[in-house]
């Protein structure tokens, strides 16, 4: 069961849970990175967190962006 730690006033978003250890998650981060015009880790994470939830997103975003510019 997933539980929210705080109540959002008048807003109950539906999040899509994506496992972090999948190729889909990496491709999803790449797509978000492109959509933010290569805005960096923080902006990429903010774009993803608008509607999706990926555990350990910070580590995954750093890894994917490092590979991108590698």
Q: Where are the domains of the chain?
A: 18-69
Tell me: the pLDDT tens digits for 4-28? 555 555 555 556 788 888 999 999 9
Beta carbons of 61 and 26 less than 8 angstroms apart = no
Nearest partner of 17 among 1, 31, 36, judged by Cα: 1
Tell me: the pLDDT tens digits for 52-62? 888 899 999 99
Beta carbons of 22 and 56 less than 8 angstroms apart = no
At 32, give phi and psi (nearest 5°): -65, -35
């Amino acid at each position: 069961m997933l539980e929210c730690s705080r109540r959002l006033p008048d807003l109950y978003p539906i999040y899509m849970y994506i496992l972090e250890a999948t190729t889909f998650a990496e491709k999803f981060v790449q797509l978000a990175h492109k959509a933010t015009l290569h805005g960096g880790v923080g902006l990429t994470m903010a774009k993803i967190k608008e509607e999706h939830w990926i555990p350990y997103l910070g580590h995954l975003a750093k890894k994917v962006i490092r590979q991108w510019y590698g």
